[in-house]
């Protein structure tokens, strides 16, 4: 696939979107969201249901107007230059909409290509090339209604790439895929980024966010509550959540919780199926103290840094 020439990616400033209806009070879906996505970078919008991810994506691809704030796509303003935005941006909202099930994969791409002003042999060549890139070359002549969900998602991405845009907005591209299809899709998406595209992806899949993203923006109720690399996000959670030590002791240790109460930096201790779960501020210091205190009575000890899921739940609030 030919990569795009260097362009500016996405620039979003103080984006707000309020939904109003006559019968209900106004609902603020986005409340001042700002971020950038550079060429060759993949930024993930991660957040629980209703956080504002799809609203952001729809504004960026000109399907929805912002109430206030600005967004530019490869330099084009979503409000004042929507046609230029559509030329410079490909998008995929996945799901069952946006493809014609009775048409073949190739026919679908050719149909959508005409909407970008493409035609004739160059269009057929581009569509066939993309089907090959997406691993659908041998299914080009099959009707989309016979495709699996993973194949449809890949076809959606091929559609988004028809006009070789420098910016891609992918809304939950791997929703509903099994782990193997999800991994295949992530590999494809990463390749598109490495070719120099600016990619914004929305998901609530933490594995996807962790594996794919250069940066993660955590959205909650229409505002960005954290912005960091996946590793940094985990480190932030480490500071906030501390470290979890799982400890197994010989059964004959009497009332270990009494001794554990003196563990340095202790934040909490409880048992789970015979294993002591000890939350501490400083993992290595506490582990050393435990080993010195219980000595050979320690059967097993493991120190686990917080997962991205811990970080995420800490930031968005654990509904549990």
Ligand X SMILES: Nc1ncnc2c1ncn2[C@@H]1O[C@H](COP(=O)(O)OP(=O)(O)OP(=O)(O)O)[C@@H](O)[C@H]1O
**For binding to ligand X (CB under 6 A), which residues are involved?**
19, 27, 29, 47, 49-55, 204
Yes or no: say if 90 and 161 are a contact pair by the CB < 8 Å rule. yes
Min dist CB 54 to ligand X, Å, is 3
Nearest to ligand X of 89, 263 (CB atom):
89
Min dist CB 221 to ligand X, Å, is 8
Answer positive or negative: Cα dihedral of 119, 121, 124, 128. negative
Min dist CB 242 to ligand X, Å, is 29
Coil/strand/helix, residue 73 = strand
Min dist CB 312 to ligand X, Å, is 13
Nearest to ligand X of 79, 220 (CB atom):
220
The C-alpha R_g of the chain, in whole angstroms, comes to: 24
As a whole number of angstroms, the distance between CA 209 and CA 84 comes to 29
Nearest to ligand X of 51, 228 (CB atom):
51
Yes or no: say if 117 and 129 are a contact pair by the CB < 8 Å rule. no
- Find, among 222, 175, 217, 166, the residue nearest to 195 by Cα: 166
Nearest to ligand X of 176, 268 (CB atom):
176
Nearest to ligand X of 149, 204 (CB atom):
204
Min dist CB 44 to ligand X, Å, is 12
As a whole number of angstroms, the distance between CA 96 and CA 94 comes to 7
Other Cβ atoms within 10 Å of 253 Cβ, number: 13
């Amino acid at each position: 696939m030919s990569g795009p020439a260097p362009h500016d990616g996405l620039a979003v400033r103080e984006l707000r979107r309020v939904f109003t209806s006559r019968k209900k009070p106004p609902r603020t879906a986005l409340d001042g969201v700002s971020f950038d996505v550079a060429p060759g970078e993949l930024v993930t919008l991660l957040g629980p249901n209703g956080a504002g991810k799809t609203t952001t994506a729809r504004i960026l691809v000109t399907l929805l107007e912002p109430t206030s704030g600005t967004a530019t796509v490869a330099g084009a303003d979503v409000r004042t230059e929507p046609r230029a935005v559509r030329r410079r941006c490909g998008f995929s909202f996945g799901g069952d909409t946006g493809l014609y099930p009775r048409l073949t994969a190739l026919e679908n791409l050719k149909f959508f290509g005409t909407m970008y002003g493409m035609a004739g042999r160059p269009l057929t060549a581009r569509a066939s090339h993309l089907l090959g890139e997406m691993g659908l070359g041998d299914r080009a002549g099959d009707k989309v209604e016979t495709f699996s969900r993973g194949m449809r998602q890949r076809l959606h991405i091929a559609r988004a790439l028809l006009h070789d845009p420098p910016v891609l907005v992918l809304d939950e591209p791997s929703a509903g895929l099994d782990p193997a299809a999800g991994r295949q899709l992530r590999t494809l998406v990463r390749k598109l980024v490495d070719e120099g595209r600016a990619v914004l992806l929305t998901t609530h899949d933490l594995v996807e966010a962790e594996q794919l993203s250069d940066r993660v923006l955590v959205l909650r109720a229409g505002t960005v509550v954290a912005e960091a690399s996946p590793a940094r996000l985990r480190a932030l959670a480490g500071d906030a959540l501390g470290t979890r030590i799982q400890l197994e002791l010989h059964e004959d240790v009497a009332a270990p919780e009494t001794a554990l109460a003196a563990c340095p930096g202790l934040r909490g201790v409880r048992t789970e199926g015979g294993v002591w779960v000890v939350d501490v501020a400083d993992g290595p210091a506490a582990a050393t103290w435990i080993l010195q205190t219980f000595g050979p009575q320690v059967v097993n000890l493991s120190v686990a840094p917080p997962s991205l899921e811990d970080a995420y739940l800490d930031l968005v609030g654990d509904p549990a």
